[in-house]
Every structure is written in structure tokens, then in C-alpha cells.
Amino acid sequence: MSKNKNNQAIWGNRIKKNTSSIFQKVGNSIDVDKRLYKEDIIGSIAHVEMLFKQKIISFKIKNKIVYGLNKIKKEITNKKFEFNKKYEDIHINIEKRLFEIIGEDAGFIHTARSRNDQVITDLKIWMKSSTKEINILLDVIIKSVIRAAEKNIYTLMPGFTHLKNAQPVSFGHYLMAYVEMFKRDQKRFINNLDSLNENPLGVAALTGTSFNIDRNYTTKKLGFTKPTNNSIDTISDRDFVLDFLYSISVCAMHISRIAEELIIWNSDAFKLINLSDKVVTGSSIMPQKKNPDLLEFLRGKSGIIYGNLFSMLTILKSLPLSYYKDLQDDKEIVFKSNDTLQNCLKILDEILKNFTPNKKQMIELANTGYLTATDLADYLVKNHSMPFRKAYKVTANIVNFAEKKKKNLDQLTLAELKKIEPKLSNDVLKVFDLKNSVNSKKSYGGTSFDNIKKMILKYKRKK
């Protein structure tokens, strides 16, 4: 391969006419994939070291290439590298600069390698690193939620089904539900590492290579666990991209759910929480307004992330084996979803540190809607050997009576209760206490105070 003094494309000896200007404009990806420069250089160094080990290139050539690549890395890091859109992508930009630094011997760098396996290798290395970054951010979120939950173990609020008051719960227990969600997100990202840890390097363009390469060497050198099994599948595989985008989408959905709850709770209709001025905005016309714009931002971004997942699924639909230009967009989609999610996690953590529960309003709302009705039905089963369905009917009659009298259940007298169910005794009145109701749910996973404390301690110990 000769030094390209005319700066023609790599394939210039075969393609005689200049690429159309419109294709040059849409076909290059350097603005997107230049962020893979570190991964590209790491992968190239591992590749040439393997070529030397296998006696495919000389020690002198290997050292010249490694020297040149390290020089390029330093130039890019110090913002002294000129990215040229004419050279299409980060791989060709680096290779062209390598020719300028070391001359003809730069041509050996692409021995037994294609951009097809090169780009997948770079992307997988980058995604492994990004996966770890996301899980670190999720750790921060989980810690913030746990801190808020620990402060609110004994804060009582209504639990909702269908957005209707259902049963009294601890606010701490409510918050810990999101810890479970974010823990599952972490597991999803960790599970993705199985496919990300398969090394694509060495399958070349499509069929592998006739050179006596050692894929196990580059696998170990680049931190993978094993080489991929099938060269054709390796080049066309983007399942690992889908897994990553799906995990991001589920995590974004969880963020959107907690954002929506906080928006509702912060509304004038509920007033269950207060947001600090640090995380709200004002209105351009209404001086009194404090709007939860950051939470709405989080809720909205989930739609953008879903769209990226669907875009990648659509690109892959009906795509034959093995490589096609359609796949070029995978990196932009991955980068956008990753950046959006990481930004959302940082914003959510800021919000979690800047809200306070309105405990008075929470307890007042918990005292409406007959939230201890289920406790009364359970009491009838346990203390009067009543079948649950009969207990349900008796309780419904008592609720109807209380509603007619415009009383809460705890405001009914024993005499009034006995008119509906004569078997009732004085101890039934304890059933209507909200704190007793919450603390009685001692089954594993229930909202009793001891359960919440144990779960908080369990997750704090894991850290």
C-alpha cells in the first residue's frame, strides 16, 4: 500500500471517479464515530501486537505502528488532530494520519483485518465502558432513594391503585419500590456484558482470514472473554446493540414513572411533596407558578429513547447477511440513547436531593377513602372465622354506612358497627388505626416498618 500523496480514498485504485458530493456528505460518519478514537487505537495496537507475535509483521514495523498510534492518541487528546470529513470515519482518519507519521509501513496495520470487524470491536469496547458508567450512575440514584426512604419509614401516605386511595403505606416503602426497579436495570446492563464480551476482531470482512492470526491473544489483550464463533454472524450481529438500547429504554421508563409520580404529588390537587426552587422553573406570564419542568423533561426523554430502539429494530428488520451501509447508523443511535440516559440519571439524582414530603397532607389524604377497609375484612376472617367473601360483603356494608353518615371508618362507634355485624367487639376499633394497618403487613415484601428497615439495611450492606 503506497503513501497516498493525493489524499485519495483507500479504494481509489478501484473506483476511478470521485464520489458524488451528496454521498460524501451523507456517507461520512466522522462527526459521530470520532468519539471512538481511544477504542480504535487500543484495538489497533492489540491487532498489530498479535501480528508481530504470529510473525506476520516484523518487530520494527510493529513498533513504528504502535509509536504512530500513540502519537495520534496524544494529538486527539490535546485537540491537535484535524478530523477530515473526506476520510469518512475515525478509522480512516487515524490510518491516514499514521501514513503521514510513519510512511509506507502504516499499510501493514490493516493486515488480516477489515473495517467491518474493526468497528464492531471499537463499539463493543466503548459499550462495555459505558455500561459500567451507567451502573455507577444507577448506584448513585439507588443511594439517594434509600436515603429518602430511611428518613420516611414512619411517614404514612395512601397507596394507590387506579390512582384511587387504596391502602395506607409507608412513604419509605413506596420509595423502596423504585430501588427494586433500578436494581433490575443494573442486572439488565450486567447481563448484556455476556454478548459484549465476545471479541469480533479477526473475522475480517466476512469469512475470517487466511493469515495465521491468534484471536485468543487479542481477546485477552482487549478484555474480552472469548472470540465470536461465526464470522458471518459477527459482521451482521447488532443484537448487542438492541440489548443495550432495550436496557436503556426500560431504565428510561422507570425514570419516567417516578417523574410522573413526583409531578402528580407536586400538583396543587395532591400537594404530597414540595420541590425546591433548584429544580423548578417559572412561568412567562403567571408570576405565581413553579413548574416541575425538569421532571417533565425526564418524562419526555423516554419517548426519544424508545424511538431510538425502534429505529434500530427497523434497520435490522429484513436485513440480509452480512454487512450493509444500513448498519452505519447504529453508533449514532447508541451514543444518543446513552448520552440521554446518563443525563437523565444525573437530573433525577438532583431532583431526589431537592424534594421534601408534605407529611401533614400525606396523612390527611390517607384518612380519606376508607383505606383500612381491607384490614377490617381481614379482621373478620381472623377473629370471627368468617369466609373472606362474606367478610368482604360485611365490610362493604360498613363502608356504605360510613359514607352515608359522612364519617371515616375510625369515626364510627362500636354501636354503629354492631348494627351491621353484631359479632364485633371493642378490639375492632384498633383495625382502623393507619399506623397499625401499615405495620401489620409483616409478610416478606410487605410494608411493615421492620420489613422496610431490613430491606434498607440489606441494600446498604451490599454497597
Q: How confident is the model at residue 18 (pLDDT cuts 50, 70, 90)?
A: low
Q: State percent of the chain over pLDDT 90.
A: 92
Mean pLDDT across the stretch 153-182? 97
Kindly tell me if the per-residue pLDDT of 8 is higher than 60: no
Q: What pLDDT was estimated at residue 21? A: 66
Residue 11 predicted with pLDDT over 70: no
Average pLDDT of 64-85? 97
* Sign (positive or negative) of CA dihedral 319, 323, 329, 334: positive
Helices 171-196 and 449-462: crossing angle in degrees, nearest 10, is 30
pLDDT at 290: 94
Residue that has been written with the C-alpha cell 483485518 in this structure: 113
pTM for this prediction:
0.93
Contacts of 111 (CB under 8 A, 6+ apart): 51, 56, 57, 211
Question: Which tens digits make up the pLDDT trace of 24-53?
Answer: 666 689 999 999 999 999 999 999 999 999
Mean pLDDT of 235-244: 98
8 Å CB contact between 219 and 229: no
pLDDT of 7 above 60: no
Q: How confident is the model at residue 3 (pLDDT cuts 50, 70, 90)?
A: very low
Kindly report, residue by residue over 412-434, the tens digit of the pLDDT.
Answer: 999 999 999 999 999 999 999 99
Peptide bond into 256 cis (omega under 30): no
Is residue 334 predicted with pLDDT exceeding 60? Answer: yes
Cα distance between residue 398 and residue 345, in whole Å: 47
> pLDDT tens digit string along 78-89?
999 999 998 999
**CA dihedral in degrees (198, 200, 201, 202; nearest 10)?**
110
What's the pLDDT at 25? Answer: 63
Instruction: Give whole-number Cα distances, 206 to 28, 115, 316, 321, in Å.
Output: 22, 11, 18, 9
Burial of 99 (0-12, 13-18, 19+ CB in 10 A): buried
Q: How far apart are CA 171 and CA 65, in angstroms?
A: 60
Give which of 435, 463, 439 is closest to 451, Cα–Cα: 439
Q: Can you give the pLDDT at residue 462? A: 76
Distance separating alpha carbons of residues 159 and 313, to the nearest angstrom = 37
Judge whether residue 4 has pLDDT over 50: no
**pLDDT at 10 exceeding the cut of 70:** no
User: Which residues are annotated as catalytic?
Assistant: 162, 283
Q: Strands 198-199 and 164-170, how do they pair?
A: unpaired
